[in-house]
Structure 1
């Protein structure tokens, strides 16, 4: 792979199964309509994120639209699609058919194993990379064992074992990756892959907005909710793509091999998860607003918690990404995080449109302030 390699159309095709998967997770949390359901949804989202991130790293080794890598990613697409199909039954198996939780865990294990097998084949001749792939097998298999055990037991034990599996897999792989044998051959490619996944999450947020409005009669309140929902998505896009990603991409490109590896594993591999999770939770809250746009009653704690908590998590993710990628904290973003989190009780009591409008105003003001404050930096980075 050359250092100027860019994302291929096959990888964009590969990402489409994750669009469906994110939609399934959002629907799972909406159906559960509880804090436990949201926690379980976040765990499912973590599994999806870790599997996608693994293939983003794999795409740095060779062109994804050619030969062995295309075949491997094609198999992984099928596995992820099965995971997505099993999401509604992730904790409660439906009568008839196969056991849903076990299907989900087994399909996820298949996706992770395909990744390591293909990585191992592509790594032939590179001693450090082969060693890194070998070191990655034990936590993957141990984590898969916990997933399968949790799926077999079910209930609260399943939640605990799924959490332990994710912590084990993420923790060991991250610890061995920061100074390990992985290599980032093309920094622009790597950054672009993660930026495109944020676009996928934002697209899913608009899909959730449409799903919430699909079966409702067109009314002024519905149109207002739709406009506010699009405004929220636009603000989330602005806060991520306007400046920080451009600076981070340049930093990744200029870093030496070891520093680039640590930056990729930290700022992108781990630091992007709260960004993506924040978008999905915000979308869940927006869907609740749209579904009750004409109601004069309060939005309620579930939708308000998802809306405000999701926006706060997103801002927290941006703070973490900025700290890991460019070694700065965003004071404006920290203030906005506190404000949007503090808005939760008011959002729960206020009518849905007012609750969403408050979050949109906070995000829009933050975007406007940062655009003004960092005007010179924005110009310099783009130039």
Structure 2
């Protein structure tokens, strides 16, 4: 976790007496020491979670009202806008954050954009009106264009070309996203798929010939912090749902298994994500892009777990008129998806042997099987994920002990 008191390098840190408030936006070093998240980045994350919470809330309403398919599609579209804007800023900041006045102001404009987007989430779900969501996204992306053009002004050669490519690519994509407002409703999912591909291609094409100097440890920390914040939002959403259920229906007996299972799932989700140090694997753009893009699934699934817990609570107290099976699936499916995504992006690179490699995939399968356990499904899923943590730690400890034993035997010889 970062601290506002952590010293930052003199060339890119906070304002110091006698230094100009506006400075050249030059690239930072990839091997820079003490590279941690800044207070502005933490503030940025907290504001983005407001939009995540709105998307999760609307997903709850859609699933509870028998519109799960439509709700999931809208959730995927809105969450992509939130995640992609967050991700683009994160990688840009890792390479170019100089923390001067103009940089801070443009970042605050991006925060304003995500708050506009958050304000339009309910209309996007309820009325299929994406105007406000599109406007908020546009504000965020135009601010990002301004940052890239500023970086281009301070750069030369291949670095300048990369910055200009980013700015042009982002602008072109904004024209395409206008179709969400202008095209008829049946065409929007197809446009969404096309535009997702276009957006994902911008960094790949822009960094041909020159890789921006993002910092691997800073990037790993930024993603970890956002994971913590999203899991925290999941806890908050589930707590409010349980509190409401107890206050309005006096159904503590029905809600305790859901609350206990939900806590076990979220605690295990945190443990599984942070059990391995991933920064050392982010050595090239190819590795980093695949890892960074894959976090769409991790973030979206983590937020959806909270929405699922709310659905389970509403079903238990009779506020959501759906089956117990559907309510259970709202928790178990995103949990299984989260486990598989963390395994694919993190864990499999650090596991040795078939036993360690299969812990999370098998756990994901068992969590899905828990869906059919009726009122005990969420608690069972929580116990299964907690057992996965215990199993993983046990296998790691045993392998480490065998390694120390073999080393001692070799030394004795």
Global fold match (TM > 0.5): yes
1:83 to 2:117 alignment? yes
Q: 1:224 to 1:298 in 2, by over 3 A?
A: same
Describe how 1:107-256 pairs up with structure 2 within 5 A.
107-123=136-152, 124-170=154-200, 172-176=201-205, 181-217=210-246, 219-243=252-276, 246=277, 248-252=278-282, 255=283
Give, in angstroms, the shift of residue 301 of structure 1: 4.4
Deviation track 1:214-246 (CA, whole Å, cap 9, x = no partner) reads 422252433443232222110100110122xx1
1:321 to 2:355 alignment? no
Give, in angstroms, the shift of residue 300 of structure 1: 3.3
Give, in angstroms, the shift of residue 320 of structure 1: 2.2
Deviation track 1:305-359 (CA, whole Å, cap 9, x = no partner) reads 3212101211121122137966989321111222223433x05xx12xx010121
Q: Residue in 2 aligned with 1:266?
A: 290
Q: Determine which of 299, 303, 307 is the counterpart of 1:280.
A: 303
CA distance in 2: counterparts of 1:378 and 1:139, whole angstroms: 48
CA distance in 1: counterparts of 2:100 and 2:398, whole angstroms: 42
Stretch deviating more after TM superposition (27-36 or 117-126): 117-126
| Contact kept in structure 2, 1:143 and 1:166, CA below 8 Å | no
Higher-Rg structure is 2
Give, in angstroms, the shift of residue 294 of structure 1: 5.1
Task: Calculate the TM-score normalised by the size of structure 1.
Answer: 0.84
Stretch deviating more after TM superposition (31-40 or 117-126): 117-126
CA distance in 1: counterparts of 2:279 and 2:126, whole angstroms: 42
1:339 to 2:373 alignment? no
Superposition CA RMSD, Å:
2.8
Q: Secondary structure at the match of 1:183?
A: coil
CA distance in 2: counterparts of 1:88 and 1:146, whole angstroms: 23
Q: 1:185 to 1:285 in 2, by over 3 A?
A: closer
CA distance in 2: counterparts of 1:277 and 1:128, whole angstroms: 35
Task: Calculate the TM-score normalised by the size of structure 2.
Answer: 0.79
Give, in angstroms, the shift of residue 157 of structure 1: 2.1
* Unaligned 5+ runs, structure 2: 1-27, 404-413
Q: 1:233 to 1:87 in 2, by over 3 A?
A: same
Give, in angstroms, the shift of residue 139 of structure 1: 4.2
* Unaligned 5+ runs, structure 1: 95-99
Describe how 1:304-319 pairs up with structure 2 within 5 A.
304-319=328-343
Q: Residue in 2 aligned with 1:358?
A: 380
Give, in angstroms, the shift of residue 189 of structure 1: 1.1
1:21 to 2:54 alignment? no
| Contact kept in structure 2, 1:309 and 1:341, CA below 8 Å | yes
1:9 to 2:39 alignment? yes
Q: Secondary structure at the match of 1:182?
A: coil
Q: 1:174 to 1:332 in 2, by over 3 A?
A: farther
Deviation track 1:201-223 (CA, whole Å, cap 9, x = no partner) reads 10111122023124222524334
Q: Residue in 2 aligned with 1:103?
A: 132
- Equivalences, count: 358
Q: 1:206 to 1:158 in 2, by over 3 A?
A: same
Q: Residue in 1 aligned with 2:16?
A: none
| Contact kept in structure 1, 2:315 and 2:327, CA below 8 Å | no
Stretch deviating more after TM superposition (182-191 or 21-30): 182-191
Give, in angstroms, the shift of residue 147 of structure 1: 2.4
